Structure formats: C-alpha cells, structure tokens
Structure 1
Amino acid sequence: MEGLKLYNFKTVEKLIAPRDGETKFGEKIEFINKLEELKEHPAKFVIFGIPEDIGIRANHGKPGASKAWEACLNSLLNIQHNEFTNPESLILLGHIDCTAEMKKAGNIDEEDPNYLPKLGDLTAIIDQKVSALVQSIVSAGKIPLIIGGGHNNAYANINGSSRAFGKALNVLNIDAHTDLRKLEHRHSGNGFSFARKEDLLGRYTIFGLAQNYTPQYIFNEIKPSENTEYRLFEELMDLSSEELHSAFLDSLEFVRDEEFGLELDCDVIKNFPASAQTPSGFSMEQVRHFISLAARLPECSYLHVCEAAPTTASAGQVGKALSFFITDFMKAAHGR
C-alpha cells in the first residue's frame, strides 16, 4: 500500500536487546510480507505508527509527537515475552511514511500568512494514507493499535473504520479536549468535527474534558446533541475509585450499542510529556484501568494513542507508558 513502510524482523532487530535465559517481546512478535496476508493471519491485533506532528502544529501546538512511535518501539520490543504479554497475537505492521510531508512542513515559513492552511493541506494527505490502512486492517477482521502522531489522525481512524463497517462509528475519547473545533483547515483540533460533517461519527463521548480549555461555542453545540456527551475532569477528580469506575462504565454504555473506537489523548494524563502537557489530569494507573475496561467489550474496534511528545530525557518513560497501554489493551481484549 502506498504510504506504508512495511516492517520485517530485520527492520527492528537492532532495537532488541537480547538477554540469556529470557525472550523479549520483539523476538516473538509477528510480521507479514504484504497486506493481503492480514485476513488469513491468526493474530488478532495489528500495530502501526504515525510519526508526524503536522496536525498539531496546524492547530497552534508544539511539535514533538512525531517521536512517539520510535519511543514506543524501543520499549515495546524489549518487554518480556511471558504468559501475560502474548506477542504472537500482534502483527507489527510498520509505520505511515510521513517523511515527505514532514519535510515540506519544515520548509514552510512560519511568517507565511497561509502557514496554517498549508500545514492543513499536508495533514489531509496523511488523512488519506491512514484512512486507507485502517480500512484494510478492520476489513481483514483485525483490531488496529495505532500510535500517533497528533489527534488529527482520529478523523482517519474513524473514516477508515466507518468505511470498513459500512456505517458510522461510535467513539469514546479519553481527552481533555473535544477536538470539535471549527471546520477550517485540517488540524488536530477538528478531527471529530470533520468526521461528524461527513456522517462518519455516530455517538461520541469525551471522558475527562477540561472546563478551562473548552470554548463556549463547543459547549453550546454539544448540549442539545443526542449523539454527544461528556464528563468534565473537574466533576471526576474527587470521585472515589469505585465512583470513577462506574462513571467510565456509564460512558462505555453510551457507545457500546455499536462498534466503537477508543481514543486516548496523552494530554489528559497528569505530567505526561505531551503536546499540551497538564499539571492536573488522570493518573497513569487510572488510564490503564480505563483502557482495560473498554478493551473487554467486543464492540471496541481499535485503540489510538496520540499526542505523546517525548524529549530525549523522557523518551524511555514515554515508551514504557505506551507499551503498558498496548499490552493492557491486548490482555483485556484477548479473551473476548
């Protein structure tokens, strides 16, 4: 498929640090030679990365999310292969080749009056690549595990999944933001707006929405909508563990009548190295619990983790966090 950099074991072998008496996850992970092999492969999950941050920059954000996939791979491939991790059920597909778009984005003068729309045009090109790949994976009966990149890629995940299922897709978004901003150029803040405009998005719920960073016009649009709901982080932060668990189950009930996508924006996690890092948010343990709850449901059709923005100093910790999210999802979804 055009736009996909397909991996084999030799692609990642140098990233694996073998150790006597142990077997690393990357030594047992699965690969394919071409997309046509997906449907007949016994593995349940397919992982790929989107190394870009153009959509974030097009939304006035800070770059850095393009490094998340590399950090993820360095960690994931080196966790242990044991009775809990099950790498044989995961195909490491590769990554979306964003090299040309990233280079073009870097060459656009920030003083150009059309700087943001030009970044939006590049984001739209990546949309097409991601949408086509997600559609192929879902159509093959697999569950995509998608590591961004910016939250602009939610539009492509919804687009590809919706086309594969032949109907609009429900979404549960664990996020401090709605990403329902205005329909201007494509960027990380309007992926759900575009999906809704094109009738690709069914029921949509945001869990952990930050009241301080949501424009009033978005609240005005959400409140009368029967297909959209939200839970403010400020309403959730003082709940007991049992009450928070129950609140998340309520959000799952809103979307689980049909297939739904699970979106996780790392901006919602307290002190996580993300494109819009926050001092107030969910803990890692809470987010891992949410992922496990969602993944147990047979209607959960993909996991997308986005907006992680590792620095050189934090890359190891970010990679470990993303690996936890992936293995938590797989473990919870494995037996369904």
Structure 2
Amino acid sequence: MSSVIFYTEEEVRSLVTKREGEVKFGEVLSVAQDWQSLQTSKHPYVLLGIPEDIGVRANYGIPGTSQAWTQALRMLCNIQENEFTQPERILLLGEIDCRDEVSALAPVAKDDALNTQRLGSLVSNIDVKVSEVVTSIIKAGKIPILIGGGHNNSYGNLKGASLALGAPVNCINFDAHTDFRALEHRHSGNGFSYAFNEGYLGKYFIFGLHQNYTSQSVFDAMKKHKDRIQFARFDSLLQENNSSFEGFLQEAANFCGTSPFGLELDMDAIAEMGSSAQSPCGFSVMEARSFVRYFAAKGHCSYIHICEGNPSKESFANQVAKTIAYLISDVISVEPS
C-alpha cells in the first residue's frame, strides 16, 4: 500500500533534543519500517499523521492544519519517557501521503481560491487513502490514533473502521460544530453527513455543540434522525442547572458507547486554541483531556482522531503541538476495559 510515508528511526530520533540523565519519548518510540512491522508489532496503538488542510480550504476555513502533525510529533518525541508515559504502547506508522494533492492545490489556490469542486475532488482522493489505511490498522487488531489535517478526514476514518469491522460504526465527536452540512463537494464540514448517508456511520453524538454556529437546516436534519443523532449543547452549561460536563460524558456513552465507536476531537471546541475556526468560548484543555481519557478507556473505542489544530500563527505553534502531545499521551496511558 503506497498511501503511507514511513519514517526511518534516524529521522525520528533527530527530532529529539537530548539531555544528559533523561530519556525522551522519541528516543525509544517504535518506528514502523513497512507494513510488515504493523502486522508483527505488539503495540495496541498506532500513530499516524495526516498533513493536509485541503478540506479546511474547501470549507472556507483558515489554512494551516497541514502543519499540526509534524509539530505535534516533534513535541511528543520530547516528552519524558517514564513509568507513566508508556511509549511501549504505541507504534509510529508514519503519515498519509498527501504530496500529490498538496501539489495539485497550488494552481487551484493561485488561479481560483474558491474553486471548491476541484478542492473537493482532492479531498476525495485523500478520503480513499485514509480509509484504506484505517481499515488495515484495525484489521491488524490495533487502535489508530490519527493526528492533523481537517475534520474532512472523519469520513475516511469512519469508512475505514466500518469496512474493517463489517458494520456501521458509532461516533462521539467533541466539537463546536456538527460537520453535518449538505452533500455538496467534499470538505471539512460534511464528513459525518457523507459517512451517515453512505452507511458507514451508525449513531452520532456531538459533544458540546455551539448553537450560534449551527444552522436551522442542520438542526432540522438531525431531528429527522433523532434515533441516530443526538447532541449536547455547550450553551446548556450556561443555561440549565442540570447540565454538566460529566452529564455530557454519560449521555454520549449511553448513546454511542455500547458498541464500536470512533472518537473524534476537533480542537475548535477548545477555548482560545489555535485552530481553523478559533473561538474565545469553549471547553478547557483539561476538559478535552478528560474527554479523551474517559472514552479511550472504553473497550469499544475503535479509533481516535485529533484534528483541526492550526499552529500556523507563531503564538499558537507551541500551544497546539503541546496540547496534541498531551492528548496522545492520555490515550495510551489508560487501559481499555
């Protein structure tokens, strides 16, 4: 399968800033050399990057999510290796090869920045690659952790998981938005609606939906499928005494967590986080970490996707990368039950 760019151990070790008397995560991180490495490894988790922002551009968002993966990997490689971080639980597979799509993006962006149909076709190309790789990882008995790129990649994740498991997959999405927009050209705002329409997405729960940025047409569409789509409004935390973060966790778990589900975390949902749709209002980083730890510990969690981080502004680069590194380490430090 040519959809993945593998790294050498030397490339990964070069990301580490060494310090005498310490061992950094990247110094002992297992690095896959080929697909056979995946099949023979005993690591429960597989780490994979998706360095693209084409889906975000196609959705009129702010480009820059293509940079999240490499910066997050460098940050992860420089956390400490100790009895709590457990690098032995994760295998670095590499990154989805988006080079052809990124190269094709240049003339589109130059000649017509709003050529959405062309951008959509590039997103569809990446969909194929992501779904193939996710299918292979899950069939190998591993749990993929996917980093970087836009939320358009939710479609490939869900398709890949569904094909691997032979049934539609549920999804819990920590997000300010539904990404359940119309079935137009592919972009970061309709990954879930496409997966739902094509039978890859079973039940869908949006965790922390912002009412100010959800159209009535989307609310109406969700009402038509209320047996399969539910949400917890972030705004209800301000308005209703019986709403709580812990209540959201339980509600999502009851609705989606009793059969295989994908876990999606859009960094747009974190307040003041560098992202493609940055917001002053949202969950804290601690709440995002709690969300990931809570659901990664569920035995039915089939994959984890952390997306929409945008470190392109210098003031956010370190913040975005460090947050992603925290989230990755949270996932691998909990034991699924």
> Which TM-score applies when normalising by structure 1?
0.96
Query: By how many angstroms is 1:148 displaced?
Result: 1.8
Tell me, in whole angstroms, the C-alpha distance in 1 between the residues paired with 2:109 and 2:19: 48
Could you tell me which residue of structure 2 aligns to residue 16 of structure 1?
A: 16
3-state SS of paired residue (1:277): coil
In structure 2, the gaps of 5 or more residues are none
Contact 2:298 2:336 in 1 (8 A): no
Amino acid at match of 2:267: C
Distance in 2, matches of 1:162 and 1:121, equals: 22
The aligned amino acid for 1:194 is: Y
> CA distance change for structure 1 residues 3 and 39 in 2, over 3 Å: closer, same or farther?
closer
Matched ranges for 1:148-167 at <5 A:
148-167=148-167
Structure 1: give runs of 5+ residues left out of the alignment: none
Q: Decide whether aligned partners of structure 1 residues 113 and 39 sit closer, same or farther in structure 2, where only a CA change above 3 A counts.
A: closer
Determine the structure 2 residue equivalent to 1:82. 82
CA distance in 2, matches of 1:321, 1:238: 29
- The answer to whether the 8 Å contact 1:158/1:195 transfers is yes
Distance 1:110 1:277 in 2: 25
Question: In the aligned structure 2, how far is the partner of 1:242 from the partner of 1:233?
Answer: 9
Q: 1:247 deviation in Å?
A: 2.2
Maintained 8 Å contact 2:237/2:243: no
State the match for 1:259 in structure 2: 260
Partner of 1:193: 193
Give, in whole Å, the separation in 1 of the partners of 2:324 and 2:310. 11
Q: What is the CA-CA distance between 1:23 and the residue it aligns to?
A: 0.6
Task: Give the % identical residues.
Answer: 44
Post-superposition shift, 1:243?
A: 3.2
The Cα shift of 1:112 comes to 3.6
CA contact (8 A) 1:61 1:276 kept: yes
Q: Which residue of 2 aligns with 1:303?
A: 304
Q: Give the aligned partner of residue 39 of structure 1.
A: 39
After superposition, give the CA deviation of every residue in 1:43-66 in whole Å (9 maximum; x if it has no partner): 110001000000000011110000
CA shift for structure 1 position 261: 0.4
**Secondary structure of the equivalent of 1:314?**
helix
**Any idea what SS the aligned residue of 1:93 has?**
strand
Q: In the alignment, what sits opposite 1:312?
A: 314
SS in 2 for 1:262: strand
Counterpart for residue 324 of structure 1: 326
Q: Distance in 2 between matches of 1:158 and 1:203?
A: 11
Q: What are the superposed Cα offsets for residues 55-83 of structure 1, whole Å, 9 maximum, x if unpaired?
A: 00001111000000011011000000001
CA distance in structure 2 between the aligned counterparts of 1:150 and 1:237, rounded to whole angstroms = 29
> Judging changes above 3 Å, is the alpha-carbon distance between structure 1 residues 313 and 38 closer, same or farther for their aligned structure 2 residues?
same
Contact 1:47 1:91 in 2 (8 A): yes
Per-residue deviation, residues 139-173 of structure 1 (Å, max 9, x unmatched): 00001000020000000000000000000000000
1:77-156 maps to which residues of 2 (within 5 A)?
77-109=77-109, 112=112, 115-156=115-156
Q: How far does residue 110 in structure 1 lie from its aligned partner after superposition? A: 5.9
Please state how far the C-alpha of 1:224 moved relative to its aligned partner.
Answer: 3.0
Determine the C-alpha separation between the residues in 2 that align with 1:277 and 1:109.
22
Other-structure match for 1:68 = 68
Q: Which residue of structure 2 lines up, in the alignment, with residue 180 of structure 1? A: 180
| Counterpart contact for 2:236–2:243, Cα < 8 Å | no
SS at match of 1:173: strand
Any idea what the Cα deviations from partners look like across 1:182-220, whole Å, max 9, x if unmatched? 001100000011101110000000011110111111100
Please, what is the CA RMSD of the aligned residues?
A: 1.7
Q: Which amino acid aligns with 1:163?
A: L
Q: 1:223 is paired with a residue of what secondary structure?
A: helix
Whether contact under 8 Å (2:274, 2:319) holds in the other structure is: no
User: Offset of 1:114 from its aligned partner?
Assistant: 6.8
8 A contact 1:208–1:236 mirrored in 2: no
Cα offset for 1:314? Answer: 2.1
CA distance in 1, matches of 2:131, 2:242: 37
Counterpart Cα distance in 2 of 1:90 and 1:242: 36
Given the superposition, is the C-alpha separation of residues 80 and 205 from structure 1 closer, same or farther in structure 2, using an over 3 Å criterion? same
Contact 1:30-1:89 within 8 A present in 2 as well? no
CA distance in 1 between counterparts of 2:240 and 2:98 reads: 41
Q: Is the 8 A contact 2:48 2:146 kept in 1?
A: yes
User: Aligned partners of 1:183, 1:322: CA distance in 2, in Å?
Assistant: 30
Deviates more, 1:245-254 or 1:200-209: 245-254
* Runs of 4 or more above 4 Å deviation: 237-242
1:213 aligns with 2:239: no
Distance 1:196 1:241 in 2: 30
Classify 1:109/1:42 alpha carbon distance in 2 versus 1 (closer, same or farther; 3 Å).
closer
Partner of 1:280 in structure 2? 281
